[in-house]
Amino acid sequence: MREKEPPQAAESHGGDASSTAPIHRRRGGTDVTFFVLSDLHFGFGFPDDLKTLPADPLARPVGIERDHQRVIARMNGLAGQAYPTAMGGKVQTPRGLLLTGDLTERGRVEEWQHFVAYYGLRGREGLLKIPVFEGIGNHDRVHGAFRGCVEQRVVERHGGRFYSWDWDDVHLVSLGEAPDDEGLTFLANDLARYAEDVPIVIAFHFALEGPWSTGNWFSEGDFRSRLKKTMEKHRVIALFHGHHHATGHYRWNGVDVYKPGAVKDSTHTFSVVHVTDSKMTIARYDYEANTWEWWDEKKLSK
């Protein structure tokens, strides 16, 4: 769906990104594992009459929910499994799961409720047993009367449609569908509190290059050039996006960009990221074939 204008700005942010808090510097000792997944599309395969949905979506999965049961089972059981032989080592307990948008098919209340039943928030409420850090995609705000429903739930869960947090020395930022005017301001203020050598991970939905990177509000105007400028003096070690329902890796203005895989369509993978003081590894796990599909490693200077 083509959109000429960015979404209406929310009034709140995740945390106080505009404060003059003391700058965060690297302390060392970083050892962080997390997962990344995109394009969940709860509601795909639902019946036309939502009143006929089962009362318990976990006991009676409908449509794409069967795929979610499989991917969540793999995520819940992956800690302790060996990485590909060339990588060495084993998957450590993940700190959480990053979701890069399109949580629902049409942004409907029932779809969101099923998302929560499966993925929860803190690793205790749903089928998934690790914390969840989600942002919206274009599908989450397209359905008439429920427009904005999913985004508002994200605001309630995380304090804003844009928000950030730290795992050891790694600083992570969720920018929802993509950084609009408000998102770019949030990002600039947020990153200003971090020393230039702190490793930054950024996640949002829309693509920067390649398939499905045009035909939406983010591809028009100067949003991307302003994003590039905002990141320039900072150490962005990875940027994750969805929307393409695919896997891949490319470089955008010197930044490594990763497509982690999706639940909808045929690219049934998620990414496993491990960051230490000296390196970052990213491996994609095929949850249908129950095997590693691809991996990469890059050194991080101390």
pTM: 0.92
Task: Give residue-wise pLDDT tens across range 189-226.
Answer: 999 999 999 999 999 999 999 999 999 999 998 999 99
- Report the alpha-carbon angle 68-129-293, nearest 5: 55
From the list 200, 278, 263, the residue with the least C-alpha distance to 36 is 263
Q: Are 178 and 205 in contact (CB under 8 A)?
A: yes
257: left (phi over 0), alpha (psi -120 to 50) or beta: beta
Give the three-class secondary structure for 275: strand
pLDDT at 10: 33
Q: How many residues does the chain have?
A: 302
Indicate the Cα dihedral angle 248, 29, 204, 110, nearest 10°.
110
Task: Give residue-wise pLDDT tens across range 1-25.
Answer: 334 444 443 333 365 555 556 699 9
Separation of alpha carbons 122 and 30, rounded Å: 22
pLDDT at 203: 98
Domain ranges of the chain: 31-299
The stretches in the chain having pLDDT less than 50 are: 1-13
Query: What is the token pair recorded at 234?
Result: 């900072």
Q: Are 21 and 194 in contact (CB under 8 A)?
A: no
Level-2 CATH architecture, domain 31-299: 4-Layer Sandwich (3.60)
pLDDT at 16: 53
From the list 167, 162, 170, the residue with the least C-alpha distance to 235 is 170
Query: What is the token pair recorded at 300?
Result: 């991080």
